[in-house]
Chains A and B, each alone.
Chain A
């Protein structure tokens, strides 16, 4: 293992570390204590700790010590039409550490038709070689059939993946149909996975893109014009509906607009298990730049769903984060050089999509949400780290400062002021979409795996030290509720005698159901969550206080006004 510091002489960092006089900030409370770390783990927390001699001591001087950030959404080293994004796992995770993020979760994107497992192995190889911090992987489901099902099963069981993304956009490419979504959701709900969705209505986008190009709009502004925020909100609504039908926890990646955030917030109020992830870009800037006269600048903002042209969006999304309506933050960091973006210079639909944000995420949210008084430092920890750890089922190993947790920490300087610029950032991209923005709050010291990686403004990272952290299925944070609902809602047929009256002649020309023959016994336990979504509860039947036996027939009360038995004719089988 060799240290890799660009302009710095490698320093010796001990495996034993003591932070003295820090104010520990978790998502639930803040308190003053010292922290002693050894072998990458937090060993002791408290005052007057007894530690071995010769440990390196960091004086925090009352500054905040917070769990390292978890960037739950990155696309490092993403292959794109024969090229790759400019930030590979080394460059990307270095930028992450510079910003106070000590763990990233990247997306594995198998080409449609190819094996998920091979793609996963490929990503593992790339990341193991280069990453400077711990990482996990989401796997994207870009097509759906029985072999994919099998692979998903294996990934959950053996490979430490518990989250899978499906696309509702990119028609004829990644996009899955509603029926496929239903099947994926049902399957993952059984296996304890988290469904992530890229929520945009791909069909309408395809139509709008065609219209824009026909009108002669070929520049980056066409990107946002063809993907209005209503299409994002529509897809979120649809995903929520399907998730609720299938009793599957839902995670919406890249919440970019007010309307999409509103739908998520509404769904949560109705009781849906749904999490929303705004990204650095949507929290920090807006889509007015698509109209920039500088093509390269405008193109650097191209990402999907697009940044909203409404300049009040970032503020709105920050507020929703503070109120808990949105749960986690990622960066969706996926950077291309200007030359790569220029593939789409004559046609906005060809511009590779993605923006930077992994380095800026923590400071940006601090500046927009904590310094403005929207949230306190505990909430800040929750949405930058703890909630992500809980969803990934890594809590409390990650996302918390506690004895036994990983020694991924930051000493946060609330007063440091920095101006973001492409000249000084750690990404390899020529543009930074937050260019010129002045942010208050930054990491002073970053400790990753018990080692100091940032101190005195100097970054000392080691490529390849990052470990893959396996995520296990059925995270409590999402599944406790889902399990309870499963037990609650049981569907049962009404026991009736056979209808033995006359039956009309008819032709089978339409309306046949192929599965009608595949009937199973009524004792099979059916599952559905009818409890939370509607004001009316099927389970609220007086006969169904406990799990009802098949003999207890849930007969619904008839409407009050029906006083005579229906029908006066004689050809009806009357059973009641």
Chain B
């Protein structure tokens, strides 16, 4: 392991053995007073009057809260964009994360279309392994879809511990997938036992709106939000939910930025869909009125997609949905660009590199907006900042919980600390902070990552490259228990009928609807086999409708009861095969 690196501080020796005394342990289910003893980066004992070896470093918590370190489910450190690279690399980014109480990040590997997923993944691994200061994992983005992609996804799931893939419904002609492709990706992801993440915006409409806005002579950052109204976000969420239901695939919406999108998610959950929503620091902490700032550089700093909502009541609304459980996890979508990089789009808002900061501010912001205001208690806070993420991405209980055997990633939280967020004092490489001047109450007093103190007395002691890649298994229970039950439940079956032997109208062979599969019909014997496969195959989720087809299909091959009012057999003509 490399030496300690603290910018202005003399490196301190931190023991591999740590004892926190007098802590109020806060998990997502309960809070209780106990001591915590850690060794080799793992929690070894929890309780009162622990018997520990001599000479361990002791931290006195004085009854303060100790909670699982935050998990930032969405970062884009060091992200390449048209030859440029996001300003915060894995070192700078994870350092900022730790400073804010986040001890694990999940970054997105974004292969350029045409690039292999595995090689992109390996590239990101290399970057992160050499620089990351905290544990990390990787989502992989599907930026194009072909049979090679399928194989690579399988490799990533089986050999590289990836269990989540992001598809884009926006960025037409670059990343965007069609509805059919989305259907195929989702079906495949479900078979793999992974999570389908979606960047939800209707890219087709955005492309049209961008054209129109530019034609109107609007070229500044306000054009960004004008061309991406929140309805377009809600539409894409609705479409993704529909396809996910069809394919019985768990769905995860990244960057929930607007009320309407959040409403669609909440509604889908009420109908039984397995869908998760991720608001980010930016959408929880600020709004899109800044796009109209006269300072171009400031306005441009807020450019991200989907955009921040111009409705100033949005953050409060999203915080409420987070509190009531309609939204489940929080990320930061941290992707920062310097003003000179943003200026690539100074004459055309569509060229401005997208992304906002938020990895450092996330925990404090949510605490300030939700816990201080009484929207949620500290347990729910732990759930939305850490535990739910760990559960969804199959890291639980290693991460996201304070328990014997869990990783020693902890935060000693000070609910009374107040801080004014400013670019002058933040740990980022950019000139602007979108939360500039926001006063937040609550912050980390001590941060412990991998069993080592990384923040104490306001001083950061991070170690470049000590972050481990945490691999994630497929079929997370939190998500797939329901999916599995549903695929067992619904089995589709044809109606057994004799051959129709009546007259058939003569028609030319050109089919009305070009159906790619009508020619590959199989023999009855083959159909038998397929039937067996079908029963294993997860089938459709009909949970959403009040009416269940499965009810009728289970009761053998008894034909369905027709409505009561049909009393006479249909049709009086003779040329009909009557079988029933």
A343 touches which one: B310, B312, B433, B507 (CB < 8 A)? B507
- Given the complex, which residues of B lie within 8 Å of A505, measured CB to CB? 83-84
Q: Is the CB of A293 within 8 A of B341?
A: no
The residue in A203, A311, A510, A562 that gathers the most chain B C-beta atoms within 10 A of its C-beta is A562
Nearest chain A CB to B355 CB, angstrom units = 14
Q: How far is the CA of A569 from the CA of B298 in the complex (A)?
A: 12
Produce 1/0 per residue, A285-324, CB < 8 A to B. Answer: 1101101111111101000000011111000000000000
The residue in B180, B216, B239 that gathers the most chain A C-beta atoms within 10 A of its C-beta is B216
- Given the complex, which residues of B lie within 8 Å of A312, measured CB to CB? 546-547
Is B503 on the interface with A (CB-CB < 8 A)?
yes
Nearest chain B CB to A140 CB, angstrom units = 15
The residue in chain B whose Cβ has the minimal distance to the Cβ of A541 is B292
Tally the A-B contacts, defined by beta carbons under 8 Å: 428
Nearest chain B CB to A180 CB, angstrom units = 9
Produce 1/0 per residue, B269-309, CB < 8 A to A. Answer: 00000000000000000110111111111110100000001
Is B566 on the interface with A (CB-CB < 8 A)?
yes
Contact residues on A (Cβ < 8 Å of other chain), bracket: 35 or more
- Given the complex, which residues of A lie within 8 Å of B235, measured CB to CB? 237-238, 241
Is B158 on the interface with A (CB-CB < 8 A)?
no
Nearest chain A CB to B491 CB, angstrom units = 10
The residue in A437, A558, A575 that gathers the most chain B C-beta atoms within 10 A of its C-beta is A558
A215 touches which one: B431, B496, B507, B530 (CB < 8 A)? B530
- Given the complex, which residues of A lie within 8 Å of B294, measured CB to CB? 494-496, 555, 575-576
Q: Is the CB of B423 within 8 A of A566?
A: yes
Produce 1/0 per residue, B205-244, CB < 8 A to A. Answer: 1011111111111111011001001111011001100110
Q: Is the CB of B438 within 8 A of A562?
A: yes
Q: Is the CB of B259 within 8 A of A535?
A: yes
Q: Is the CB of A493 within 8 A of B242?
A: no
Is B174 on the interface with A (CB-CB < 8 A)?
yes
Q: Is the CB of B423 within 8 A of A214?
A: no
Nearest chain A CB to B78 CB, angstrom units = 15
- Given the complex, which residues of B lie within 8 Å of A213, measured CB to CB? 515, 517-518, 521
B547 touches which one: A172, A309, A567 (CB < 8 A)? A309
- Given the complex, which residues of B lie within 8 Å of A245, measured CB to CB? 205, 209, 229, 231-232
Cβ < 8 Å to B, chain A residues 257-308: 258-259, 285-286, 288-289, 291-298, 300, 308
Q: How far is the CA of A495 from the CA of B222 in the complex (A)?
A: 11
Q: How far is the CA of A294 from the CA of B493 in the complex (A)?
A: 16
The residue in chain A whose Cβ has the minimal distance to the Cβ of B354 is A511
Nearest chain B CB to A300 CB, angstrom units = 8
Q: How far is the CA of A289 from the CA of B571 in the complex (A)?
A: 14
- Given the complex, which residues of A lie within 8 Å of B212, measured CB to CB? 526
Given A178-B202, A343-B505: A349 touches B83 (CB 8 Å cut-off):
no
Nearest chain A CB to B341 CB, angstrom units = 4
Q: Is the CB of A573 within 8 A of B214?
A: no
- Given the complex, which residues of A lie within 8 Å of B147, measured CB to CB? none
Q: Is the CB of B297 within 8 A of A491?
A: no
Produce 1/0 per residue, A412-439, CB < 8 A to B. Answer: 0000000001110000001110011110
- Given the complex, which residues of B lie within 8 Å of A82, measured CB to CB? 506-508
Q: Which secondary structure dominates chain B's binding surface? A: loop
Nearest chain A CB to B359 CB, angstrom units = 19
- Given the complex, which residues of A lie within 8 Å of B292, measured CB to CB? 494, 554-556
The residue in chain A whose Cβ has the minimal distance to the Cβ of B181 is A203
Is A516 on the interface with B (CB-CB < 8 A)?
yes
Q: Is the CB of B571 within 8 A of A297?
A: yes
Q: Is the CB of A499 within 8 A of B577?
A: no
Nearest chain B CB to A534 CB, angstrom units = 7
- Given the complex, which residues of B lie within 8 Å of A422, measured CB to CB? 570-573
Cβ < 8 Å to B, chain A residues 106-152: none
Is B39 on the interface with A (CB-CB < 8 A)?
no
Q: How far is the CA of A554 from the CA of B580 in the complex (A)?
A: 71
Given A238-B239, A573-B297: A437 touches B565 (CB 8 Å cut-off):
yes
Q: How far is the CA of A503 from the CA of B517 in the complex (A)?
A: 52
Q: Which secondary structure dominates chain A's binding surface? A: loop
Nearest chain B CB to A178 CB, angstrom units = 4
Is A571 on the interface with B (CB-CB < 8 A)?
yes
Q: How far is the CA of A452 from the CA of B239 in the complex (A)?
A: 51
The residue in B208, B422, B436, B567 that gathers the most chain A C-beta atoms within 10 A of its C-beta is B208
The residue in chain A whose Cβ has the minimal distance to the Cβ of B207 is A179
Q: Is the CB of B511 within 8 A of A339?
A: no
Q: Is the CB of A204 within 8 A of B242?
A: yes
* Stretch in A1-9, A384-392, A517-525 touching the partner: A517-525
* Stretch in B56-64, B399-407, B554-562 touching the partner: B554-562
Is B320 on the interface with A (CB-CB < 8 A)?
no
Is A170 on the interface with B (CB-CB < 8 A)?
yes
Q: Is the CB of B205 within 8 A of A242?
A: yes
Is A222 on the interface with B (CB-CB < 8 A)?
yes
Q: Is the CB of B339 within 8 A of A295?
A: no
Is A472 on the interface with B (CB-CB < 8 A)?
no
Q: Is the CB of B183 within 8 A of A207?
A: yes
B513 touches which one: A173, A345, A568 (CB < 8 A)? A173
Cβ < 8 Å to A, chain B residues 2-54: none
- Given the complex, which residues of A lie within 8 Å of B439, measured CB to CB? 561
- Given the complex, which residues of A lie within 8 Å of B346, measured CB to CB? 498-499, 503
Q: Is the CB of B517 within 8 A of A567?
A: no
- Given the complex, which residues of B lie within 8 Å of A179, measured CB to CB? 204-205, 207-208
Nearest chain A CB to B493 CB, angstrom units = 7
Produce 1/0 per residue, A228-272, CB < 8 A to B. Answer: 111101100110011011000000000000110000000000000
Is A363 on the interface with B (CB-CB < 8 A)?
no
- Given the complex, which residues of B lie within 8 Å of A206, measured CB to CB? 180, 515-516
- Given the complex, which residues of B lie within 8 Å of A530, measured CB to CB? 229
Q: How far is the CA of A222 from the CA of B517 in the complex (A)?
A: 14
Q: How far is the CA of A555 from the CA of B25 in the complex (A)?
A: 47
Nearest chain A CB to B96 CB, angstrom units = 17
The residue in chain A whose Cβ has the minimal distance to the Cβ of B549 is A309
Q: How far is the CA of A560 from the CA of B530 in the complex (A)?
A: 62
Q: How far is the CA of A517 from the CA of B246 in the complex (A)?
A: 42
Q: How far is the CA of A422 from the CA of B575 in the complex (A)?
A: 14
- Given the complex, which residues of A lie within 8 Å of B485, measured CB to CB? none
Nearest chain B CB to A80 CB, angstrom units = 7
The residue in B180, B431, B516, B571 that gathers the most chain A C-beta atoms within 10 A of its C-beta is B571
- Given the complex, which residues of B lie within 8 Å of A559, measured CB to CB? 286-287, 289-290, 312, 438
Q: How far is the CA of A294 from the CA of B570 in the complex (A)?
A: 9
Is B1 on the interface with A (CB-CB < 8 A)?
no
The residue in chain A whose Cβ has the minimal distance to the Cβ of B518 is A347
Nearest chain A CB to B259 CB, angstrom units = 7
B504 touches which one: A345, A493, A519 (CB < 8 A)? A345
Q: How far is the CA of A206 from the CA of B515 in the complex (A)?
A: 7
Complex A-B: 8 CB contacts under 8 Å: A204-B183, A219-B497, A294-B577, A422-B573, A506-B341, A511-B82, A526-B212, A566-B301
CB-based closest 3 A-B pairs: A178-B204, A536-B311, A293-B580
Beyond A207-B180, A215-B527, A575-B294, 16 extra complex contacts between A and B, CB < 8 Å = A207-B183, A214-B517, A216-B522, A234-B238, A237-B235, A238-B202, A288-B561, A494-B220, A499-B296, A502-B339, A526-B216, A556-B291, A557-B289, A561-B437, A566-B423, A567-B298
